[in-house]
Structure 1
Amino acid sequence: MKYISTRGNAPELTFEEVLLTGLAEDGGLYVPKDVPQYTLAEIESWRDLPYAELAHKVIYPFVEGSVDSEALQTILNEVYGGFAHKAVAPLQQIDHNEYVLELFHGPTLAFKDFALQTLGRLLDYVLERRHEKVVIMGATSGDTGSAAIEGTKACKNVDIFILHPHGKVSEVQRRQMTTVKGDNIFNIAIEGNFDQAQDMVKASFGNQGFLKGERKLVAVNSINWARIMSQIVYYFYSSLNLGGPLRPMAYSVPTGNFGDIFAGYMAKKMGLPIDQLVIATNSNDVLHRLMSKNQYEVHPLQHTITPSMDIAVSSNFERLLFDLYDRDGAALAELMGRMNAKKDVVSLDEEKLAKARVLFDSFAVSEDDTVKVMQDVFAETGYLLDPHTAIGVKAARETRRNNNIPMITLGTAHPVKFEDAVKRAGFDMPNLPHHLTDLMDREERLDVLPADLEAVHKFIAQKTFK
């Protein structure tokens, strides 16, 4: 499998090289040069596979030539054998033909465990073979950080630095990052917002001189293809559990950086019958404004009760645009230059946007409506949604095209992670799962730094070359 940059001016890479690269040298994101295609009969033959074996079927074509087939299966068995629910990604029915896909049974109670537990083990596999050490640098608006740390804490060849906006993630999310012990783990609280942290990470990949040429940076944010690849699996798994691929499904995805919903788009390209993908956002609604009005304009970031979606710029949307613009890297580079300038309102070619609207719908949900959906679903079913999932349910109900096919909302996190939203909805906090019962008593370790790239680079260099 070879990978190409969305901006068309970077070398083709293998999966192993993409895993260790992050952004392409031309500023683009790597995508597969060719997408594996499956017939309905082939997908149907996977119906009875347990999650880890299905994951091998979906993932192996993307890593072939870089990761041995048996080694991949061993990694996947280890990853998903550590989830708290034997089904790994169980479905919870909340109404007729309406479901929540529970993606929070991993060690950090969020969907990002699916990808980051796998990514950490793949990194160790590749780095051991190459006799190399790397620096992981990532930004998080909530869940990515803890999942990345949990997934890579045992990696012998990695130092990990996670930036989060100081005081702007929930206490459970922060403690899941800052209480993990390890000499290779560093939490940096940035005196700014998530987009500033993400911009610093992107800038660091463009200029890695602070690492003196002795290490290279590796991305754990969803710009890393290994993240997207792992998330494709649960679309196949949920579909097969509800009668797919013999009938289509619809999915509503709470999204900030567009990675999780892009995985659904990839599943569709691979042959899974998906009738509709709903982009569900909070008041940071840049994608909804683009999809509904064809107006791309970056607004100031708003901090909400759904902090994992408090993102003003959705990095992975570039991967979809690459396909909409017929994989024309030069055309996309010009478009991204205008979009990233953040100066003017940018509109897409109407014909290109029309192609997206065939599959995608979008909806932005207010905080009041988020809380009301949490209350309504609990009153109807006794089931407590986390606020991000509630946004997905509301968006699904507002935009649903066909009531005769299942609508599946991705349940992205456990409600225990979001105390403000749960209490605002009038509920008592659920108990932390057994492996986290002492979380509030654990010692925290973090460093508060200004939102200044030079200061962050100096800190990373000091800790890496101590």
Structure 2
Amino acid sequence: MKYISTRGSAPELEFEDVLLAGLASDGGLYVPKELPHYSLEEIRSWRELPYSSLAFKIIQPFVGGAIDDETLQAMLDETYAGFGHKAVAPLAQLDHNEYVLELFQGPTLAFKDFALQLLGRLLDHVLTKRNERAVIIGATSGDTGSAAIEGCKHSKHIDIFIMHPHNRVSEVQRKQMTTILEDNVSNLAVEGNFDDCQGMLKACFANQDFLRGERRLVAVNSINWARIMAQIVYYFYASLNLGGPDRSMAFSVPTGNFGDIFAGYLAKKMGLPINQLIVATNQNDILHRVMSQNKYEKHPLAHTLSPSMDIVVSSNFERLLFDVYDRNGATLADLMSKLNSETVELEAERMAKVRELFDSHAVNDDVTCATIADVYQETGYLLDPHTAIGVKAARECRRDSMIPMITLGTAHPVKFADAVEKAGLSTPELPHHLQDLFEREERYEVMPNELKALQDFVASKVF
């Protein structure tokens, strides 16, 4: 399979090179040149498959022979065997035709595990094959960092550096990252916000001179195509467990960077009947403002009880816009340059096309806590703040009560004690494998919000 850049002027690449490239050389994001498409009959035939076997069916065409089938299936089996529930992504029912897809059963208790535990294995396989060593620099608003570190900490071919905004992630999120003491892992607490971290990450990819041409720089953020690819699977899995593809589904997705919900969009394009995709977001509501008002305008970052969505610029929205603008890279490159510097309205007919599938809703902290409390009182089920935003958005935006509504449960509530306690409830205990988390030794560097400081630190560690 070939991959092309959303901005049209980078070379086409195959899977291995896209895996290692992250951002395209023209500043765009890689997407498949063509998507596989499945008939309802073929999707129906997958109903009895366990998660890792279904993942093989979805992922194999994207890998395009870069990894032989037997090795790929073994990687998938190993990845999802490490999850804490035999179903891997179980469904919890809140009401008639209302469900939460529990995507927090992985080792770091967040949906990022579905992609990042696999990504670490994919990178190790390709780098071993090429006899190369790579540098990973990542930026996290909370959950990406711990999942990436968990996936890559044992690799002999990777040095990983994860930036998080200093004092702006939850204590559990921080400790899941900073208590990993392997020599190839560095945690950097940046004196800024997530967008500052993401800005420095993009600057590193734009100019890699600090690596002196001796190391490859690899992305683990959701700009890396392999992350999107892995997330497509659980849309199929949820649907098949609720009568799909013979009935359509609706999904509500807590999202800041648009990657998780873009995977749902791709699932629909690949043949899965999806009636509605709901963008659920917090006070950092740039996606909601685009969807509801057709106004793309950056506002100052607000710090909320749902920190994984405290993002001003949603990087993966570019991948959707590429399709909306008929996959015209030059047009999109011009549009993206405007989005970074001014308020932009999309053409009316383009926006109408987006709204055929997408709705959106923004939820503040008070409503988030009220939703956590209400759902617990109704069902005894405890939501984390991100999933609570998804449930509230689902209830506000639902188009058809006859169609199952599935909210993606993106994190375990134990990671967000502040929100749970402000909802008037007790934080649950940490799962068994994390029982001693608060006693573990931490190691991290507090770093100024300066690109040169970051690059000098990385260079000092790898050379």
TM-score exceeds 0.5: yes
Secondary structure at the counterpart of residue 330 of structure 1:
helix
Q: CA deviation at 1:304?
A: 0.2
Secondary structure at the counterpart of residue 156 of structure 2:
coil
Secondary structure at the counterpart of residue 279 of structure 1:
strand
- Kindly indicate whether residue 350 of structure 2 is the aligned counterpart of residue 384 of structure 1: no
Superposed CA deviations along residues 146-195 of structure 1, whole A, max 9, x for unmatched, are 00000111111000000000000000000000001200000000000000
Aligned-partner Cα distance in 2 for 1:22–1:203: 13
Letter in 1 for 2:266: M
Aligned-partner Cα distance in 1 for 2:331–2:116: 32
> Where in structure 2 are the equivalents of 1:63-462 lying within 5 Å?
63-341=63-341, 344-462=342-460
Q: CA deviation at 1:216?
A: 1.3
- Kindly indicate whether residue 59 of structure 2 is the aligned counterpart of residue 59 of structure 1: yes
Letter in 2 for 1:396: A
- Kindly indicate whether residue 15 of structure 2 is the aligned counterpart of residue 18 of structure 1: no
Secondary structure at the counterpart of residue 218 of structure 2:
strand
> Where in structure 2 are the equivalents of 1:32-47 lying within 5 Å?
32-47=32-47
Secondary structure at the counterpart of residue 136 of structure 1:
strand
Aligned-partner Cα distance in 2 for 1:220–1:340: 22
Q: CA deviation at 1:242?
A: 0.1
Secondary structure at the counterpart of residue 20 of structure 1:
helix
Unaligned runs of 5+ in 2: none
Superposed CA deviations along residues 96-132 of structure 1, whole A, max 9, x for unmatched, are 1000000000000000000000000000000000000
Letter in 1 for 2:430: L
Superposed CA deviations along residues 384-409 of structure 1, whole A, max 9, x for unmatched, are 00000000000000000000010000
Aligned-partner Cα distance in 2 for 1:374–1:464: 45
Unaligned runs of 5+ in 1: none
Secondary structure at the counterpart of residue 295 of structure 1:
coil
Q: CA deviation at 1:340?
A: 1.4
Residues paired across the two proteins, number: 463
Letter in 2 for 1:162: I
Secondary structure at the counterpart of residue 305 of structure 1:
coil
Letter in 2 for 1:457: Q
Aligned-partner Cα distance in 1 for 2:363–2:447: 33
Q: CA deviation at 1:366?
A: 1.0
Letter in 1 for 2:30: Y
Per the normalisation by structure 1, the TM-score is 0.99
Secondary structure at the counterpart of residue 13 of structure 1:
coil
Q: CA deviation at 1:451?
A: 0.5
Q: CA deviation at 1:53?
A: 0.2
Match of 2:31 in 1: 31
Letter in 2 for 1:79: T
Letter in 2 for 1:288: H
Secondary structure at the counterpart of residue 283 of structure 2:
coil
Q: Which deviates further from its counterpart, 165-174 or 57-66?
A: 57-66
- Between the two proteins, what is the percent identity of the paired residues? 70
Aligned-partner Cα distance in 2 for 1:291–1:339: 15
Aligned-partner Cα distance in 1 for 2:44–2:181: 44
Aligned-partner Cα distance in 2 for 1:191–1:357: 38
Q: CA deviation at 1:450?
A: 0.5
Per the normalisation by structure 2, the TM-score is 1.00
Secondary structure at the counterpart of residue 58 of structure 1:
helix
Letter in 1 for 2:33: K
Secondary structure at the counterpart of residue 403 of structure 2:
coil
Aligned-partner Cα distance in 2 for 1:199–1:216: 19
Superposed CA deviations along residues 225-253 of structure 1, whole A, max 9, x for unmatched, are 00000000000000000000000000000
Aligned-partner Cα distance in 2 for 1:449–1:223: 24
Superposed CA deviations along residues 314-336 of structure 1, whole A, max 9, x for unmatched, are 00000000000000000000000
Q: CA deviation at 1:65?
A: 2.3
Aligned-partner Cα distance in 1 for 2:127–2:87: 31
Aligned-partner Cα distance in 1 for 2:21–2:340: 21
Letter in 1 for 2:395: R
Aligned-partner Cα distance in 2 for 1:206–1:381: 49
Aligned-partner Cα distance in 2 for 1:455–1:318: 29
Aligned-partner Cα distance in 2 for 1:66–1:355: 35
Q: CA deviation at 1:64?
A: 1.5
Letter in 1 for 2:209: G
Secondary structure at the counterpart of residue 362 of structure 1:
strand
Letter in 1 for 2:454: V
Q: CA deviation at 1:345?
A: 1.2
Aligned-partner Cα distance in 1 for 2:60–2:343: 41
Aligned-partner Cα distance in 2 for 1:102–1:234: 10
Moved over 3 A (4+): none
Q: CA deviation at 1:291?
A: 0.8
Secondary structure at the counterpart of residue 232 of structure 1:
helix
Secondary structure at the counterpart of residue 9 of structure 1:
coil
Aligned-partner Cα distance in 2 for 1:259–1:156: 28
Secondary structure at the counterpart of residue 21 of structure 2:
coil
